[in-house]
Amino acid sequence: MARPTPLSGFPEWLTDGRVVEQYVLDTLRRTFELHGFAGIETRAVEPLDQLLRKGETSKEVYVLRRLQEDADGEPAVDRSEKQLGLHFDLTVPFARYVLENAGRLAFPFKRYQIQKVWRGERPQDGRFREFVQADIDVVGAGELPYHYEVELPLAMAEALGALRDVGVPEVRILVNNRKVAEGFYRGLGLDDVEGVLRQVDKLDKIGPDAVAELLRAEQGATPEQAKGCLELAAISGEDVAVVERVRALAASYDAVTELLETGLGELAALIEAAARRAPGVVVADLKIARGLDYYTGSVYETVLVGHEQLGSICSGGRYDTLASDGKNTYPGVGLSIGVSRLVSRLLSAGLVTATRGVPTAVLVAVTDEAHRDRSDAVAAALRARGVPADVAPTAAKFGKQIKFADRRGIPFVWFPGQAEEDGTVGPDQVKDIRSGDQVDADAASWAPPAEDLFPRVVPAAAE
Amino acid sequence: MARPTPLSGFPEWLTDGRVVEQYVLDTLRRTFELHGFAGIETRAVEPLDQLLRKGETSKEVYVLRRLQEDADGEPAVDRSEKQLGLHFDLTVPFARYVLENAGRLAFPFKRYQIQKVWRGERPQDGRFREFVQADIDVVGAGELPYHYEVELPLAMAEALGALRDVGVPEVRILVNNRKVAEGFYRGLGLDDVEGVLRQVDKLDKIGPDAVAELLRAEQGATPEQAKGCLELAAISGEDVAVVERVRALAASYDAVTELLETGLGELAALIEAAARRAPGVVVADLKIARGLDYYTGSVYETVLVGHEQLGSICSGGRYDTLASDGKNTYPGVGLSIGVSRLVSRLLSAGLVTATRGVPTAVLVAVTDEAHRDRSDAVAAALRARGVPADVAPTAAKFGKQIKFADRRGIPFVWFPGQAEEDGTVGPDQVKDIRSGDQVDADAASWAPPAEDLFPRVVPAAAE
């Protein structure tokens, strides 16, 4: 086998990168659990017809085929079962899970889900084709109180904020409310709300003049209406004054509607609670549209401050119909972090690093192969007390064994006591190979400093 | 969307089952890390030609196709890239990872890997088509000392043993050595070692008489040679006396070879070390053959005591060529746990259970919606001190809020202090809804007993 090369779009890390990724995942999981979200995992596949219900995503699906389908004498498409595809997000599988288990779940049901997803992008497009998402959602049966639209982004802000001290940049959660946009557009006399949102969503890419032109050409807006849409999209701010600015703008266009007022009330509640509970994190940004048409209330996007060109690393919103089985409807609100995109940026921009790529805190040296069992016993004693320990692969010269540790970033090397001429065995010693300090030690009681026990994730500059 | 039904072969758990699975995964990971194994993850896909190098597994592969391959105007098989399939184990991807990153890894390289794998089984066969494996392997560059063949199964025994106190049955690791079998067969005059192993591997299924017949019919063995093979396969035992029995058997057939002696020396070293370091766990069983032809030294299978009919839940062995790029060869030794099979049995046999299915330890009640912020503040104070807390979804009657907690197994309900007639606010109270005890409490200092802080996994009988 010739040396293989990476597959474009399928990121993999060396062990130190994996330490960073695992730390991010563990931190998110811990925060989600502190907030009462229960963990679930769903299978990687869904029936293809379910994956294709949202037409716009159909181009991104990987379809599965059993290699031996034909060899088994079955038709190419196995009639005994629907065609299967890999899930491209965690929302479609969650909606299916809720319906499948509705009778056994307690609602409102809060869950987190951290899994890989796949998108069948063209390899030459350079996009991620496999990546990890971390989602939190709450779903109700029939109804879901508004306050969850405040709670969910704040829980996510806390999860991302818990990564600050290892060097992850500050995050800014940009929020908007579909009812505000829809109420305002309708007040202006624009009834193709989806169409207007779709054009406004292009603002960052093509600029206001081109959007105005599209609104006129494709949505049939008057210059006045297009101007109103752009003025709304230009409003942003951290405090509740934003709501007054929208209200004043709507009044100036005589476009105040009941729906607008409902939306502004919700937006104000979110901004106020966020300003109190997580100052500076949440910003109202009236141009946030979110492409997906199932959002019905709050919508969220999240940028890393200083890395805005990376785009949104965590998005979501409120949907009145996460799932429906015809009889019951399940409204939900949730957000999804693109963990791979985040970790990839942390590593490639050199923001965050791991103190080492192996868990081992202590390498136990081997004096000679006949006494390997002494070294094994030391390692076992350390492990029993929670200290990650490894034993040297061979009884090479101690200098070579120390080099083995050094190459892996293992901070301590342990030397089992040597037999003296009088037949007694000297004390064990442990060496901090960074400082060179070497002291007598007993495997039944010695422990490394807490900061050396496991690899830590730290701001790269601190290394 | 009608209520969906489960897909055969794709197991999913409710939240309490997931708590059990997560506990198993966390425990394995912790033990692996204490032993110095570094965590890696590989992508879910490999080029199909790599997956098919072992002919015997080809029937089990899921091949991927991008749904829009044709629509893009590309040929059905994209010439710019090899066809991709989902990995069916973690050994093939690990071998590829080692070759791809050989220049950046430090050897011997010890890694653990916990991921889903997929096998394209016929749906009607009822086998798992998606399941989690947890692998540990050590791989050397050019050479790998024998002592790792002792260390790896003992590390795995420790990982599985760490699950004993939550109700996982005792495990028994059955070991053999390919050199013993090969040396003995060659000493008997049987040179088609693979063929003989393949027949002996059928012992449990078809019995000794049928195996003897196959050895005669297919491997051209004399009745005497077949008898020798069956006598070897019948030997098993926990101590090193097993080695003497094999040696005596070989002598009685005049079948002692140098290879046999090497294998017996290795087997003795494994048995002795295991008896010292993990008494009662490792048993020599000379009929263990392992179908895969790349094993060259020790081979391992693992049964749950009392659940032997489940088959091996953890298998592996030594392979002199885990990977090779033509220039360098990478020998390895490793074992793989079938986690889904284990967890599925633990749950279905009612051996293990979770104390609750949600992380929440405390539900903070809401007196009325106007004072929800008080409840949010209590929850935030508890979370800041590491106590998982949730806030009631609505300001329903307290009885209903307590029922909300009870239904989820949340042990404590917190009542924010009520405003008194004189305008002061009374103290908060917390109620243990199992005992009914209710006491004054301060969110800045109160904590639940340690055993109630997070859901625990316990033997089912203890519930």
Distance in Å, alpha carbon of A37 to nearest chain B alpha carbon? 7
Question: What pLDDT, in 10s, does the model give residues B407-440?
Answer: 999 999 999 998 888 888 899 999 999 999 999 9
CB within 8 Å: A145 and B106: no
Mutation target among A37, A72, A344, A358 for the B interface, most CBs of B within 10 A: A358
Say if the Cβ atoms of A454 and B33 lie within 8 Å.
Answer: yes
Opening angle at CA B323, ends B318 and B329, nearest 5: 90
Confidence label for A144 from pLDDT (cuts 50, 70 and 90): very high
CA B420 to chain centre: 57
Encoding tokens for residue A341? 């995109």
| pLDDT given at position A60 | 84
Peptide bond into B208 cis (omega under 30): no
Q: What is the mean pLDDT of residues B109-129?
A: 90
Q: Which of A60-69, A275-284, A379-388, B133-142 has the lowest mean pLDDT?
A: A60-69
**Looking at chain A, which residue has its C-alpha nearest residue B102?**
A3
Mean residue pLDDT of chain B comes to 92
Per the CB < 8 A criterion, the answer to whether A129 and A88 are in contact is no
Bigger pLDDT: B72 vs B199: B199
Q: How confident is the model over A72-82, as pLDDT tens digits?
A: 555 544 445 67
Following DSSP, what letter does each residue of A309-322 receive, concatenated? Answer: GG--SEEEEEEEEE
Classified as helix, coil or strand, B173 is strand
Mean pLDDT calculated for residue range B253-271? 95
How far apart CA A168 and CA B296 sit, in angstroms, is 47
The single residue listed with the structure tokens 């080492």 is A356
For the cut 80, the answer to whether the pLDDT of residue B125 exceeds it is no
B61·A42 Cβ contact <8 A? no
Q: pLDDT class for B59, splitting at 50, 70, 90?
A: low
pLDDT digits (tens, 9 = 90+) for B288-335: 977 656 889 999 999 999 999 889 999 999 999 888 988 899 999 999
**3-class secondary structure for A425-458?**
ECCCEEEECCCCCEEECCCCCCCCCHHHHCCCEE
- Whole-number Cα distances in Å, B181 to A181, B155, B191, B200, B312: 76, 25, 11, 10, 20
**At CA A445, angle to CA A442 and CA A451, rounded to 5?**
110
Does residue B236 surpass a pLDDT of 80?
A: yes
- B58 contacts in A (CB within 8 Å)? 67-68
Q: What is the residue type of B381?
A: A
3-state secondary structure A271-293: HHHHHHHCCCCEEEECCCCCCCC
Q: pLDDT tens digits for B323-337?
A: 898 889 999 999 999
CA distance A151 to A159: 12
Return the pLDDT at B74. Answer: 52
Instruction: Measure Cα distances from B37 to A358, B110, B155, B334 in Å.
Output: 7, 5, 10, 11
Residue B53: what pLDDT?
Answer: 80
Tokens of B329: 């060869």
- Indicate whether A177 pLDDT > 80: yes
| Cβ–Cβ < 8 Å for A252, A165 | no
Pairing of strands A429-432, A438-440: antiparallel
B71: confidence class by pLDDT, cuts 50, 70, 90? low
Q: Is the pLDDT of residue A68 over 60?
A: yes
Whether the pLDDT of residue A463 is over 50: the answer is no
Confirm or reject contact between A423 and chain B (CB < 8 A): no
End-to-end CA separation in angstroms for chain B: 38
Whole-number average pLDDT of chain A: 92
Q: Which residues contact B120 (CB under 8 A, 6 or more apart)?
A: A64, A66, A67, A68, B59, B60, B61, B62, B63, B129
Which residues of chain B lie closer than 8 angstroms to A72, CB-CB? 122
How far is residue B357's CA from residue B347's CA, in Å, rounded to a whole number?
14
Q: What span, in angstroms and rounded, lies between the C-alpha atoms of B211 and B192? A: 15
The dihedral over CA atoms of A426, B273, B159, B129, expressed in degrees to the nearest 10, equals 150
Please tell me the predicted confidence (pLDDT) of residue B290.
73
Burial class (CB in 10 A: 0-12, 13-18, 19+), A57: middle
CB A66 within 8 A of CB B421: no
A426 touches B: beta carbon within 8 Å: no
- Directed axis angle between helix A193-200 and helix A203-219, to 10°? 150
Binned at pLDDT 50, 70 and 90, residue B278 comes out as confident
Classify domain A15-354 at the CATH topology level: BirA Bifunctional Protein; domain 2 (3.30.930)
Per-residue pLDDT, A54:
67
DSSP state, residue A418: P
- CB contacts of A407 in chain B (<8 Å) are 106
Break chain B into its structural domains and give their ranges: 362-462
Report the range of poorest mean pLDDT among A408-422, B66-80, B159-173, B431-445.
B66-80
User: B325 burial class (0-12, 13-18, 19+ CB within 10 angstroms)?
Assistant: middle
Span B28-50, mean pLDDT? 97
pLDDT digits (tens, 9 = 90+) for A5-44: 899 999 999 999 999 999 999 999 999 999 999 999 999 9
DSSP states of A196-265: HHHHHTTHHHHHHHHHHHHHHHHH---HHHHHHHHHHHT-EESSTHHHHHHHHHHHHTT---HHHHHHHH
How many other CB atoms sit within 10 Å of the CB of residue B184?
A: 28
Contact B172, B239 (CB under 8 A): no
Strands A412-415 and A362-364: parallel
| Nearest chain B Cα distance for residue A10, angstroms | 6
Taking CA–CA distances from B369, the nearest residue in chain A reads A147
Mean of the pLDDT values across residues A129-141?
97
Between A294 and A458, residue with greater pLDDT: A458
Q: What residues have CB less than 8 Å from B251, skipping those under 6 apart?
A: none
Is pLDDT at A461 greater than 80 in this prediction?
Answer: no
Cα separation, B67 vs B283, in Å, equals 50
- Interhelix angle B241-252/B258-277, rounded to 10 degrees, is 160
User: Alpha helix locations (H) across A70-202?
Assistant: 91-101, 147-161, 178-188, 193-200
Strands A389-391 and A362-364: parallel
A131 near B CB under 8 A: no
Q: Residue B463's pLDDT band (boundaries 50, 70, 90)?
A: very low
pLDDT greater than 80 at residue B161: yes
Q: How many CA atoms lie within 13 A of A326 on its CB side?
A: 4
Q: Which residues of chain A does B389 touch, with a Cβ-Cβ cutoff of 8 Å? A: 34-36
Interchain contact, A39 vs B18, CB within 8 Å: yes
Chain B residues 161-190 with CB within 8 Å of chain A: none
pLDDT over 60 (residue A56): no
Looking at the DSSP assignment, which residues form a beta bridge with residue B413?
Answer: B363, B431
Chain A residue nearest residue B2, CA to CA: A325
Distance between CA B291 and CA B56 in Å, rounded? Answer: 10
Looking at the structure, give the CATH architecture of the domain made up of residues B362-462. 3-Layer(aba) Sandwich (3.40)
Contact A36 B358 (CB under 8 A): yes
> Which residues of chain B are within 8 Å of residue A99 when distances are taken between CB atoms?
1, 3-4
